[in-house]
Structure 1
Amino acid sequence: MQDRIEITVLTALDQIEAGAWDACAAPEAGRPRDPFTTHRFLSALERSGSVGEGTGWVPRHLVARADGEVVAVMPLYAKGHSQGEYIFDHNWAHAYERAGGRYYPKLQGAVPFTPATGRRFLTLPGREAQGRAALMQGLVQLASENELSSAHVTFCTEAEWQAGGEAGLLQRTGQQFHWVDRDYADFDAFLADLSSRKRKTIRKERRTAQDFGGTIHLLTGDAIRPEHWDAFWRFYQDTGARKWGSPYLTRAFFEEAQATLRDDILLVMCEREAAWVAGAMNLIGDDTLYGRYWGCIEDHPCLHFEVCYYQAIDWALANGLTRVEAGAQGEHKLARGYLPVPTYSLHWIADPGFRSAVESYLEQERAAVDEEIEILTDYGPFRKVTGED
């Protein structure tokens, strides 16, 4: 006999014990596979005011219980816009509203501001099928009962994407560029796997970057100090103003990061003439380094490539990680050893006519994404013939 599953909705993460949430979100022994879905990371977003009332990201987290035990959870938000998602549905919103509908608010199963693939239907080990089905049902029921236009689950895993499609959700794909360790002993071994021209280009870029007149520091854990966040906030504000108009994260988030997340973080900081001039923030998973934010207050040739891509590969190799995810978009990553991979999302749309139109569009989009990944992979920097110099 199946356990009776009860679904509840949380309006703040502090309404559930960290241990109960993380038993589903991060059941691995040691470092979490996905640092973004941990109770501490999502709580830092809430406590800092980066999400919540007035931000367009209002927590509506799902919790599934069987006989009182938490067996599955899902980070979920009521969204008043489509910012900070990286799976773009602005055109859907415009089309729906031109037809007289109300697209917002919608539900978004995601980690805010984080285009990193990971589980979104978080379950206790051994409860995967049961917990995932309960969360899917709860997601659709919550959207239906509140007469919302749609619900979206972005940057989910391929297995979740397949299960969602079988359950009747619409399937969408996109692409990113990831670096994958091919059993390299070190960075030179990685370079040896590239074509001669690409290898020479990267070596030249690294020499150029490292001549910026300062020192590059790699900091994690207790080596990260408040002064580093003071500097990084300046970098982040500069990048945020240019990319998004205003930064997504508040200054208080970086204070929360210092207090609760610094063991999950790698900062790559550039110091010149006793001042911090550039830096990148990464999150550390059990086998993946996730590049998140870059910023600078001085421009130096190739320093962005060095700090965000090459230092990340170096650190991953030195620390036994097999993958570097460098964030959304950016075909310039291809020449630097980051190859295209698919990303996955699931979508539920209430209106039958609109759903049919979106479904037709997604069929064409998936075919186009598959073709683009194939073409870009063929243009990758790796040697095509064994023994090529």
Structure 2
Amino acid sequence: MAEGDYVIRVHSSPLDVDANAWDALLHAQPGATPFMRHAYLAALHASGCATAATGWRPQFFTLELNKQLVAACAVYLKTHSYGEYVFDWAWANAYAQHGLDYYPKAVIAVPFTPVPGTRLLARTAQARDKLLTTLLQWCQERDLSSLHLLFESDADRQVCVQSGMLERHTVQFHWRNTTPGYGDFDAFFWDFFYRCYERTYLEHGNAPYLNRDFFARMADTMAQHWVLFIAERAGQSIASSLIAVDAHQTGANGRNDTISEHVAYGRYWGALERVDCLHFEACYYQPLQWCIANGYQRFEGGAQGEHKMARALLPVKTTSTHWLAHPAFADAVEQFLAQEKEGVNNYLRQLGDRSPFRNQG
């Protein structure tokens, strides 16, 4: 091809994408998180957690220009809406009631991980535009019902809205360290954590999204991105929580100063027995104390749960964008999203009035 042409490839496995090139592109993004690292996405696939067999068929896009990777994204063909945390079951039901197929749909997301961040990896705005144009064309050629970018960065949101995609708002709860002055996993602990994690899911009648093999891969390839908290009573371990952190602390001051803001992410929890308020201690209070002690500026508590406000996590708006091929349904969803947006904004104002913090002045 001529030098000015993009070379576009679609990979049926993240293992077919060069890990170093993917991570180099990721680290050039302002909204990078550990969950978009190649090792994380590869572990989801290799462990069998996010594969065609579980309703997550990988279709990873890469765009090269002059033999350099300039854009990429993790696309999944979905046959259901589990594990996304942006809920569109009502849309799927409406399609079915009208004799239309909603699935398969295309989703650009990190499976089972409602953490905002960059989804369209790109070195330039032009490359990001080309990537999205390619994605929309690919969806149309395959008669897919829709394309969804979940928990995207602001740069992703802007290019999607400019292309005519529909914007949707949801709410999460994050803690931010704004007060001046705040300043290798053992296999046994991984096993104990997974016992807690699995049991908590099973007690609610559900199988866990992630298996033990996935966490073993995390211990091997991304151990520096995880911090494990274990609760004990009378010398016995009874519960645990696992948080992710954005960077291994290195350098003379114990910090990786290439990152402007250090962020931790509340991810997984489980217990072998019920203890009143232990969930709040293990999932919020102890991680927040760790963040303060280690100089982290933000802790993202994950999807849902206004009870988190009482633990100093304040509401933050997140976005997703959606393209639907069917014109009538696109119009109906656009009207629904306009009403939903107004409701979300009212909800945010109400939560702001109930904030445990008061502005000084």
When normalised by structure 1's length, the TM-score is 0.85
State the match for 1:69 in structure 2. Answer: 68
Q: Distance in 2 between matches of 1:179 and 1:323?
A: 6
Structure-2 change in CA distance of 1:161 and 1:237 (3 Å): same
Q: Distance in 1 between matches of 2:32 and 2:155?
A: 16
Q: Distance in 1 between matches of 2:169 and 2:100?
A: 25
Q: Report SS of the residue matched to 1:249.
A: coil
State the match for 1:349 in structure 2. Answer: 324
Q: Report SS of the residue matched to 2:266.
A: strand
Equivalenced residues, count: 346
Q: CA RMSD in A?
A: 1.9
Q: Report SS of the residue matched to 2:295.
A: coil
* Cα offset, 1:327, TM superposition: 0.8
One-letter amino acid of the counterpart of residue 17, structure 1: D
* Cα offset, 1:259, TM superposition: 0.9
Structure-2 change in CA distance of 1:60 and 1:28 (3 Å): closer
One-letter amino acid of the counterpart of residue 50, structure 2: V
Matched, 1:312 2:311: no
Q: Distance in 2 between matches of 1:354 and 1:258?
A: 44
* Cα offset, 1:263, TM superposition: 0.7
Matched, 1:325 2:286: no
Preserved contact between residue 232 and residue 238 of structure 2 (Cα < 8 Å): yes
Preserved contact between residue 107 and residue 150 of structure 1 (Cα < 8 Å): yes
State the match for 1:34 in structure 2. Answer: 33
Q: Distance in 2 between matches of 1:50 and 1:383?
A: 43
Matched, 1:142 2:106: no
Q: Distance in 1 between matches of 2:167 and 2:34?
A: 25
One-letter amino acid of the counterpart of residue 356, structure 2: P
Structure-2 change in CA distance of 1:358 and 1:28 (3 Å): closer
Preserved contact between residue 77 and residue 106 of structure 2 (Cα < 8 Å): yes
* Cα offset, 1:28, TM superposition: 7.5
State the match for 2:12 in structure 1. Answer: 11
Q: Any stretches of 5+ residues in structure 2 without a counterpart?
A: 248-261
Q: Distance in 2 between matches of 1:269 and 1:186?
A: 24
Matched, 1:249 2:210: yes
Structure-2 change in CA distance of 1:259 and 1:244 (3 Å): farther
Matched, 1:269 2:270: no
Structure-2 change in CA distance of 1:2 and 1:176 (3 Å): farther
* Cα offset, 1:176, TM superposition: 0.5
Preserved contact between residue 121 and residue 131 of structure 1 (Cα < 8 Å): no
State the match for 2:257 in structure 1. Answer: none
Matched, 1:367 2:342: yes
One-letter amino acid of the counterpart of residue 315, structure 1: W
Preserved contact between residue 62 and residue 138 of structure 1 (Cα < 8 Å): no
Q: Any stretches of 5+ residues in structure 1 without a counterpart?
A: 188-221
Q: Distance in 1 between matches of 2:29 and 2:103?
A: 36
Preserved contact between residue 26 and residue 33 of structure 1 (Cα < 8 Å): yes
Q: Distance in 1 between matches of 2:347 and 2:3?
A: 44
Preserved contact between residue 278 and residue 297 of structure 1 (Cα < 8 Å): yes
State the match for 1:111 in structure 2. Answer: 110
Q: Distance in 2 between matches of 1:244 and 1:23?
A: 41
Q: Report SS of the residue matched to 2:53.
A: coil
* Cα offset, 1:244, TM superposition: 6.9
* Cα offset, 1:158, TM superposition: 2.4
One-letter amino acid of the counterpart of residue 142, structure 1: W
Structure-2 change in CA distance of 1:33 and 1:165 (3 Å): closer
Q: Summarize the alignment of residues 1-389 of structure 1 with structure 2, pairs less than 5 Å apart.
A: 3-27=4-28, 33-124=32-123, 127=124, 129-186=125-182, 222=184, 224-242=185-203, 245-286=206-247, 287-383=262-358
Cα deviation 1:215-242 (Å, max 9, x = unaligned): xxxxxxx1x1111111111111122224
* Cα offset, 1:107, TM superposition: 0.5
Preserved contact between residue 34 and residue 118 of structure 1 (Cα < 8 Å): yes
One-letter amino acid of the counterpart of residue 57, structure 2: V
One-letter amino acid of the counterpart of residue 270, structure 1: A
Q: Distance in 1 between matches of 2:273 and 2:181?
A: 34
Structure-2 change in CA distance of 1:365 and 1:243 (3 Å): farther
When normalised by structure 2's length, the TM-score is 0.91
